[in-house]
Amino acid sequence: MTRFGQLFNLLGLFMALLEILHFPDQRLRKKATAVTEITAKIRQLAEDMLETMYDAPGVGLAANQVNVQKRLVVIDVSEDKSSPLIFINPEIINKQGEREHEEGCLSVPEAYELVTRADTVRVKALDLDGVAFELDADELLATCIQHEIDHLDGKLFVDYISNLKRQRIKKRLEKQFKQQR
């Protein structure tokens, strides 16, 4: 391999930006399956998803959004992008209260709508070493966890808004992404 090739490979390894699917792409509706083994491929996917999320920029990304139907989610709600969280096979084991929060989504660009979800959640997941952990979340993190787990089940935040609004967003994005091709 040439030195140039090696450099390219190195850059590719650390900075692989993944393509994000956009609503109404039907691949976003596929249900993700559990991660059964944390392989090098899964670790690389988590790294690439974080890069892709920071680059976008966004605060959360589910594997479905990059066309991988595995139950893997990355989140960072910190101001300075210093607190990456990786959830493998996440499950909400407790929910409390209700709160309305304005949501957006990297798969639904430039659309922001109010969605009512649980106010606080307790989530159970595996980390990249396969170790189980539980986390209590409130505020933006609670919203984000619920939003991302929805993705794993093929659900989008626009499913919670009126049909009229959803159709409007759908038409706009269909037009926008057709023009880009």
Nearer to Zn ion, 89 or 151 (CB): 151
Q: Least distance (Å) from Zn ion to the CB of residue 107?
A: 5
100 counts as catalytic: no
42 or 105, CB closer to Zn ion? 105
Of 101-109, 113-121, 138-146, 163-171, the window that binds Zn ion (rule: CB under 5 A) is 101-109
Q: Is 132 strand, coil or helix? A: strand
Q: How far is the CB of 99 from Zn ion (least distance, A)?
A: 18
Shortest CB 129 distance to Zn ion, Å:
26
Residue found under tokens 């070493």: 129
Q: Which of 102, 139, 148, 174 is catalytic?
A: 148
CA distances from 177 to 54, 108, 174 (A): 22, 11, 6
Burial class (CB within 10 angstroms; exposed 0-12, middle 13-18, buried 19+) of 181: exposed
- 18 belongs to the binding site for Zn ion (CB under 5 A): no
| Sheet strands (E) in 34-127 | 60-62, 72-75, 85-96, 99-105, 108-117, 120-126
The answer to whether 105 contacts Zn ion (rule: CB under 5 A) is yes
| Closest CB 108 distance from Zn ion, rounded Å | 7
Helix, strand or coil for residue 8? helix
Nearer to Zn ion, 105 or 152 (CB): 105
CA 178 vs CA 57, 107, 155, 167, 171: distances in Å: 22, 15, 23, 16, 11
Determine, following the binding rule CB under 5 A, whether residue 158 of this chain makes contact with Zn ion: no
The helix (H) or strand (E) run that includes residue 147 is: helix 139-152
Q: In terms of CB distance, is 105 or 141 closer to Zn ion? A: 105
The residues binding Zn ion (CB under 5 A) are 105
Catalytic residues: 148
